Structure 1
Amino acid sequence: MNDPVRRFRSPALTAARFVAQRGLLRPVVWRLVRVTVTGHEHLRGLKGAFIVVANHSSHLDAPLIFGALPWRWAKHLAAGAAADYFFDVKWRTWLTVLFFNAYPVDRSGGRNRPRLSKALIEAGVPLLLFPEGGRARNGEGIRRFKPGAAALAIGTDVPVVPIGLVDAQRAMPRNRSWPVKGRPPVRVVVGDPMRAAEGESVEDFTSRLQQEVTRLSTREDDA
């Protein structure tokens, strides 16, 4: 019987992903933009599956998050990627899977994502989700979070790690396929893991997650 989640924890694919991420992608991105990462201390004690949520405004976002997280937490992290873009042609599918351990997300609201997302969490695979559902347009603030990440966290009883990405859109605006010149600064701010309170609704937890990501992504201190 075919196991749909087996590849996400495959030792061979994990080794290949280490080379792709740490040997290729991270050095290139870190050379093109000046990256500051804060908040690693919040990951101490984090075990098993979890969900990472972040603001989304640039194609730099996923590479920044994967590169910023210590390998211990990044090696099996699976990114939910738009099925209509990243899984539309074979070469892009292959690269997305190789670099980001990705799986397709149906942005039209189909049922494949919740079913597979839950199976991945139950198999111990952490997830990276962008609750805005797509990149914000240039100059646009964080858009209203969709409830999927909060609902999944509540339904599987796993923590959510909020991450704020600062100035990623300035470094690589929506209409560019490469970062702007001059190594613009970007920041990755990791927050404390969050859980839904007892009896908290999906809507209220979604709102709390958005508030925290907004706070982290607008921090101006250099801590």
Structure 2
Amino acid sequence: MISLSARSRGQGWEKPPPELAKFRSRWRANVRFVLQRVIFRAVVNSAVTPSATVPRRVRSVRGPFVLVANHTSHVDGPLLAMSMPWTQARYLSTGVAADYWFDHWPRRVFVRWMMNAFPIDRGGSRKHSGTSRRLLRSGVPILVFPEGGRQKTGVMAEFKPGAAALAIGVGVPVVPAAIIGGHEAMPKGRSWPKPGRPPVGVVFGEPMISYEGESAVDYSARIQQRVKELYDEYHDEILGPGGSGEKESA
């Protein structure tokens, strides 16, 4: 069987240009390991009860990929990064709104060092257009939230096809992930999780690749369906049969 990383190895990845070299910096990754896996983990464990489910094939992925997940709260990015095996998460980069995270220096410093973040334009600007594709071509995996924003009601919104189009265009796998309990623990409008260390789980799915000739819209719908299946499958295990959320709302 051809491994999921065979397509990318066959293409060969470009050496990052100077402005992107920091995203593959080993010493920055070492700092990020301490921030994510020591400091942030301690903070998370004090506020919520986290869990992670990682299939064996996710651990075997080498090279860049697109991590796709539902978006429930501001802690989703760091939670996903610290839940993924370090071999795959070492250089994981997250696209964040430039007008919110990069226009205010404390937030900019936080996401750059915690999330290896790059800015994404909103409101029609194209200043940072193409960064995600260049990162993937430089061997940097990226995290994308295709809903386009945090959930307001706990119900998953339709995925925009950009992440699927990116994965098809560069020829990399997609790793789907479902965050369960994030909205219940820290709904939009809260700056800290609810008291009582509520459960929050991250469930990664088997890596996916696009079918020959599959459109970005169809691929995106298939990815969203897989994320929804993961959510439904593990919902009761993480939140309990009486837990609220998408499973009961859908």
For 1:65, what is the secondary structure of its paired residue?
helix
> Does 2:42 correspond to 1:27?
yes
Give 1:90-101 correspondences, 5 Å limit. 90-101=105-116
* Structure 1 partner of 2:220: 206
Tell me how far apart the structure 2 counterparts of residues 126 and 77 of structure 1 sit (CA, whole Å): 5
Tell me how far apart the structure 2 counterparts of residues 47 and 191 of structure 1 sit (CA, whole Å): 16
For 1:161, what is the secondary structure of its paired residue?
strand
Amino acid at match of 2:134: A
The alignment's TM-score, normalised by the length of structure 2, stands at 0.84
> Does 2:58 correspond to 1:61?
no
Tell me how far apart the structure 2 counterparts of residues 177 and 183 of structure 1 sit (CA, whole Å): 15
Q: Look at both structures and tell me which one has the larger radius of gyration over its CA atoms.
A: 2
> Does 2:20 correspond to 1:13?
no
- Quick check: 142-151 or 27-36, which moved more? 27-36
> Does 2:16 correspond to 1:37?
no
For 2:94, what is the secondary structure of its paired residue?
strand
* Structure 2 partner of 1:148: 162
Indicate the RMSD between aligned Cα atoms, in angstroms.
1.6
Q: 1:176 aligns with which of 183, 190, 196?
A: 190
Tell me how far apart the structure 2 counterparts of residues 147 and 38 of structure 1 sit (CA, whole Å): 26
1:129: Cα distance to partner? 0.5
1:119: Cα distance to partner? 0.8
> Does 2:142 correspond to 1:127?
yes
Q: How many residues align?
A: 221
1:91: Cα distance to partner? 1.4
For 1:5, what is the secondary structure of its paired residue?
helix
- Quick check: 99-108 or 32-41, which moved more? 32-41
* Structure 1 partner of 2:208: 194
Deviations 1:143-169 (A, max 9, x none): 111111001000000000000000101
Tell me how far apart the structure 2 counterparts of residues 112 and 215 of structure 1 sit (CA, whole Å): 36
Query: Contact 1:107 / 1:133 at 8 angstroms: preserved in 2?
Result: no
Query: Contact 2:32 / 2:113 at 8 angstroms: preserved in 1?
Result: yes
Amino acid at match of 1:205: Y
* Structure 1 partner of 2:10: none
Same amino acid, percent of matched pairs: 45
For 2:190, what is the secondary structure of its paired residue?
coil
Amino acid at match of 1:41: R
1:60: Cα distance to partner? 2.0
Tell me how far apart the structure 2 counterparts of residues 40 and 27 of structure 1 sit (CA, whole Å): 24
1:42: Cα distance to partner? 3.1
* Structure 2 partner of 1:166: 180
Amino acid at match of 1:150: A
Unaligned stretches of 5+ in structure 2?
A: 1-16, 239-250
1:114: Cα distance to partner? 4.8
The 1:140–1:34 alpha-carbon spacing in structure 2 relative to 1, beyond 3 Å, is closer
